[in-house]
Chains A and B, each alone.
Chain A
């Protein structure tokens, strides 16, 4: 069931089309990710939903209510910013209370709400700390708590993890997912990081030049990209034109092939199978932890292959010849 509905959102800035007729439906409780390169319009779309920018046209419905004309504070939306946007002179508790105080609630109610939210983000012991005493990850959890404490109908997250370093980013990513599950809050997260999108999103919208190129689940986007842009943007699949693929498999083929490096199998194809068999030469070998990455060449076509590694198994060296097979079922043609 549609909970948030965007229809024909359009916005231009001078001659630049920023948003080009965006339609999007998000279900209640869904974590929806807007993914795309910088300048694709994903942040502007998020800010349009929040009411921080006003699109030229289009309608936004949240829980059955038209909100596109409302002031940001009346939309029932919480937002987490890339650089936290915490109030630096206030303690964590004061940061959370500041918004609640506008609602003329009793002090006791405010305190209870804050305690409950601090428990969700595991920051009970930091209630009286100031932002500058917190790490980046803790700051972002405070920002999340500040959005949650107002009990919004929709949570918007604008690249919430991009200012953090790799280790903390991963930890907070898992925690974000856990908190979103626990609160059941419908959320939209903007990111340019495909790993983040794939691991967080129930569904993902890949955006390009102000339009949504594809909206689907993570695996669908990964294995069945809708177009060349999505295929190139997600993962590092081998993308071979019809002509290139024809040369590789040695017979005529009329579609572009998208083959992920880990989908190649080593060894000959059995009789009468519909696998494509390719005799290739190893050009380069990189043993990187749990995988071995090969660059191979066959019939003048260069492609990437990835295999699981093991302690006691050797791997092919550059210059060696091998046979690999491609399963059409594990490949994508478009």
Chain B
């Protein structure tokens, strides 16, 4: 069966796609241009800017720092948030309604207030880590919470876990075994999606990094900020590289999801 779509609808779809791709394409084009003034297209193309940036050891370290911090934060988030959301969903529905309300806190509280709070918490024992990279890792975890909560929760709701738990009790399958063999594999795509979205978010995070670890720990965004006056071209290269890495991670995550879905 084929459905006929209204031409205007198709046109809108294309327009939306172009609108979303345009900044990415323009940034990429700018990153490989030799000059771009007065015309709709750049005057010449070269990869020199990439050469400059990619061979800059300061850039390499900044990129590595961002990836390590984001990776550690996501690892902690998976370890802490996922079990908490599952446990609340399965065994403590009353707690779950509170989680649903608190989930937006990291977005709802003004960042500046959060920062002041974090600075105080991390400047006194037992968490006297002020200015150390560990602070960034620890504060990124709650920042990941909303996206993890929403994705894990949606996956769980699609499962009808109450009936699954009851069915497995009658079949003599323990809760832990059901979790390991059925529930976790089934919500894995949701977790992977949360990881990808949060990774992209953390890679482009600037305010936390700037305020909590300042100049002692230059992340990708801070490096970009430092380069802002040098050349728009170099900034475009950094953004393009950052886009590519995010794309790569997304691709890897979806491959992983696809493989577990067809294998298990």
A interface with B by C-beta (< 8 Å) = 50-52, 71-73, 77-79, 81-85, 87-90, 98-99, 102-103, 146-147, 150
Most buried by A among B172, B173, B182, B185: B172
Most buried by A among B160, B167, B261: B167
CB-defined contacts of A72 to chain B, threshold 8 Å: 166, 169-170
**Closest A-chain residue to B160, C-beta based?**
A83
Main secondary structure on B side of the interface with A? helix
Q: Are B164 and A87 in contact (CB under 8 A)?
A: yes
Say how far B238's CB is from chain A's closest CB, in angstroms. Answer: 41
Q: Are B173 and A98 in contact (CB under 8 A)?
A: yes
The residue from B164, B181, B185, B186 contacting A85, defined by CB atoms under 8 A apart: B164
Say whether, besides A87-B164, A87-B182, A89-B186, A50 and B170 are in contact (CB < 8 Å). yes
Say how far A71's CB is from chain B's closest CB, in angstroms. Answer: 8
Q: Are A89 and B182 in contact (CB under 8 A)?
A: yes
21 cross-chain CB contacts under 8 A: A52-B169, A72-B166, A73-B171, A73-B172, A78-B170, A79-B166, A79-B167, A79-B170, A81-B167, A83-B160, A85-B163, A85-B167, A88-B159, A89-B182, A90-B264, A98-B168, A99-B171, A102-B171, A102-B172, A146-B167, A150-B172
Say how far B194's CB is from chain A's closest CB, in angstroms. Answer: 19
Q: Tell me the count of chain B residues lying within 8 A, CB to CB, of chain A.
A: 18
CB-defined contacts of B168 to chain A, threshold 8 Å: 98
Alpha-carbon distance A102/B177, docked complex (angstroms): 10
Alpha-carbon distance A89/B185, docked complex (angstroms): 7
Per-residue CB contact flags for chain B residues 111-134 toward chain A (1 = under 8 Å, else 0) read 000000000000000000000000
Alpha-carbon distance A50/B165, docked complex (angstroms): 13
B interface with A by C-beta (< 8 Å) = 159-160, 163-164, 166-173, 181-182, 185-186, 261, 264
Q: Are A77 and B163 in contact (CB under 8 A)?
A: no
Alpha-carbon distance A85/B162, docked complex (angstroms): 9
Alpha-carbon distance A189/B220, docked complex (angstroms): 63
Most buried by A among B170, B182, B185, B186: B170
Say how far B3's CB is from chain A's closest CB, in angstroms. Answer: 23
Alpha-carbon distance A146/B166, docked complex (angstroms): 14
**Closest A-chain residue to B186, C-beta based?**
A89
Alpha-carbon distance A103/B164, docked complex (angstroms): 19
Q: Are A88 and B173 in contact (CB under 8 A)?
A: no
Say how far A12's CB is from chain B's closest CB, in angstroms. Answer: 21
Say whether, besides A85-B160, A85-B163, A87-B164, A77 and B182 are in contact (CB < 8 Å). no
Say how far A188's CB is from chain B's closest CB, in angstroms. Answer: 14
Q: Are B182 and A73 in contact (CB under 8 A)?
A: no
Q: Are A99 and B172 in contact (CB under 8 A)?
A: yes
Q: Besides the contacts A79-B170, A90-B264, A99-B173, what 16 more A-B pairs have beta carbons closer than 8 Å?
A: A50-B170, A51-B169, A52-B169, A73-B172, A77-B170, A81-B166, A82-B163, A84-B163, A85-B163, A85-B166, A88-B159, A88-B182, A89-B185, A89-B186, A103-B172, A150-B171
